[in-house]
Amino acid sequence: MKRYQPILTKYLDEPGSATIDFYLVHEGYRAARKAILEMDAGEIIEEVKASGLQGRGGAGFPAGVKWDFIPKNSKKPTYLINNADESEPGTFKDRLLMNHNPHQMLEGMIIASKAIGCHLAFIYIRGEFVKEARLLETAIAECRANNILGKGIFGSDYNLEIVVHRGAGAYICGEETGLIESLEGKRGWPRIKPPFPAIEGYLKSPTVVNNVETLCNLPHILNEGAAWFRKIGASKESPGPKLYCLSGGVQKPGVYEAPLGTLLETLIYDFAGGIADGRELKAVIPGGSSAPLLKADEIEGLKMDFPSVKAAGSMLGSAGIIVLDDTVDMVQACYNLARFYAHESCGQCTPCREGTTWLTKILARFTAGQGRLEDLDLILEVTDNIGGLIDFSQGSFGKTICPFGEAVAWPVRAFVEKFRAEFEAYLPREALA
């Protein structure tokens, strides 16, 4: 079998990879030039749709289909927002791309902007990413100096400006409508949908929100073609390269690029060197902390693509793989996760605002050895009232405006259902009588 050659991370270890001179030497902006000078918007959209590229931010929605929702004859301006607010615990791939190859991302933004008729695009970057924000400002300045951004880019009649906007460190602004609210200078409260951003987004105008990794795929699709992209990966439903973040109890934590559909066991034992210190695998969170965990016996033969992980009862999400070995106290881990989400809840929806606090209080009682047996069923009831029951085969719809409620309800519920004995072990003897 031919060894997979990295695509998105091909030059990340090369000195000077973040500069425009390096990028241009390695055929940088060839795809953007093609998009601006040789293709119309419809042709770009159809090529991306044909590639099957799914959003890499977590939802996995087809990128080209999302672009096609933009009204064709709107009198309002159209905006592109690059969601670089990477705040999901266990996820650190977008930061790597921005650090080492910001021009790959900017080229993707140019292609996407041409496809949707955008002339002003934004990079909404996590507030803590100070170094990355400065790198992006430098990269944008390099583009302007080389007629790659600004007026008449590549000598055409197409104009495009890109603005870097630093967030204020709110997890909820990773949700696209909360992000838009924040970009408008308001509190980052998610909006009720519909209307969807493609119809009424930034400044009530048509808007597309794409993730960093999603945009980084675009230059390669235009350079090599949709058919080439579809050949990468283990599934026709989920093609292309993917960046997987591995952390927790592994020998070599880090970001690894592999085809979508790579086995989870391969990522853990081959790429990341297996479980650290000779320990045993206990469970895996496959898609960032908002994904329900899977027990060790549930990951055998599991392909890490969108449909396969969904069928297993979790979600690929951001592909933030958190490995839990047999030293992990599942009650403490669940409490730690619940505290994070209680802190990050925007407070707009009552089920989420109150429910996350209740979960934290109940779990705090457990960790203090003061839990009650009935608390276990109460946790399940509260998670149901926040985010709905987990039933990925039928579709699961939460009870809050945005998916944040599900982001806390699903993992907490999975912890309790799959490791109930560990929670019962925390109960005082009289509670079991």
Q: 230-235 long-range CB contacts below 8 Å, 24 or more apart? A: 230/50, 230/51, 230/52, 232/7, 232/259, 232/260, 233/259, 233/260, 233/261, 233/305, 234/259, 234/260, 234/261, 234/262, 234/303, 234/305, 235/260, 235/261, 235/303, 235/305, 235/307, 235/308
Across all residues in the chain, what is the average pLDDT? 93
Beta strands in 180-224 (DSSP E): 207-211
Residue 431, classed as helix, strand or coil, is helix
Q: Are the CB atoms for 342 and 353 separated by under 8 Å? A: no
> 252 with 286, same domain?
yes
What is the C-alpha separation between 368 and 307, in angstroms, rounded?
A: 39
> 391 with 281, same domain?
no
What is the C-alpha separation between 133 and 315, in angstroms, rounded?
A: 30
Tokens of 77: 């301006």
Tally of domains within the chain: 3
> 50 with 99, same domain?
yes
- CATH number assigned to the domain comprising residue 273: 3.10.20.600
> 62 with 204, same domain?
yes
Q: Residue 58 above 50 pLDDT?
A: yes
- CATH number assigned to the domain comprising residue 91: 3.40.50.11540
- CATH number assigned to the domain comprising residue 353: 1.20.1440.230
Q: Residue 205 above 90 pLDDT?
A: yes
Q: Residue 1 above 50 pLDDT?
A: no
pLDDT band at residue 238 using 50, 70 and 90 as cut-offs: confident
Average pLDDT over residues 165-181: 93
Note whether residue 14 is domain-resident: no
Q: Residue 216 above 70 pLDDT?
A: yes
> 286 with 354, same domain?
no
What range defines the domain where residue 365 resides? 330-432
Sheet with 281-285, side-by-side order of all strands? 254-259, 241-248, 320-325, 281-285, 294-295
**Residue 231 to residues 108, 123, 261, 266, 306, Cα–Cα distance (Å):** 21, 30, 12, 20, 16
Boundary residue ending a domain (176, 209, 230): 230
Q: Per residue in 26-57, pLDDT tens? A: 999 999 999 999 999 999 999 999 999 999 98
8 or 405, higher pLDDT: 8
Least confident piece of the model among 39-48, 159-168, 344-353: 344-353
Q: Are the CB atoms for 346 and 170 separated by under 8 Å? A: yes
Q: For a pLDDT cut of 70, what percent of the chain falls above it?
A: 96
Boundary residue ending a domain (180, 202, 230): 230
Average pLDDT over residues 258-265: 96
Note whether residue 235 is domain-resident: no
What is the C-alpha separation between 399 and 16, in angstroms, rounded?
A: 48
Q: Which residue type occupies 263?
A: L
End-to-end C-alpha distance for the chain, whole angstroms? 59
Residue 379, classed as helix, strand or coil, is helix
Q: Residue 394 above 70 pLDDT?
A: no
Q: Residue 330 above 90 pLDDT?
A: yes
Closest CA to 163 of 109, 85, 244: 109
Q: Per residue in 303-313, pLDDT tens? A: 999 999 999 99
Boundary residue ending a domain (301, 325, 349): 325
Tokens of 300: 């055998």
- Tell me what pLDDT residue 169 has: 83
> 179 with 299, same domain?
no
- Tell me what pLDDT residue 397 has: 59
Q: Residue 74 above 60 pLDDT?
A: yes
- Tell me what pLDDT residue 131 has: 96
What is the C-alpha separation between 215 and 107, in angstroms, rounded?
A: 8
Q: For a pLDDT cut of 90, what percent of the chain falls above it?
A: 87
Tokens of 132: 């990355």
Residue 122: what are its φ and ψ, rounded to 5°? -125, 145
Which one-letter DSSP state was computed for residue 287? Answer: S
> 335 with 408, same domain?
yes
Q: Residue 407 above 70 pLDDT?
A: yes
Q: Are the CB atoms for 396 and 406 separated by under 8 Å? A: yes
Q: Residue 392 above 70 pLDDT?
A: no
Note whether residue 67 is domain-resident: yes
Taking the model in full, what pTM does it have? 0.94
> 142 with 207, same domain?
yes
Average pLDDT over residues 315-341: 96
Report the residue count for the chain.
433
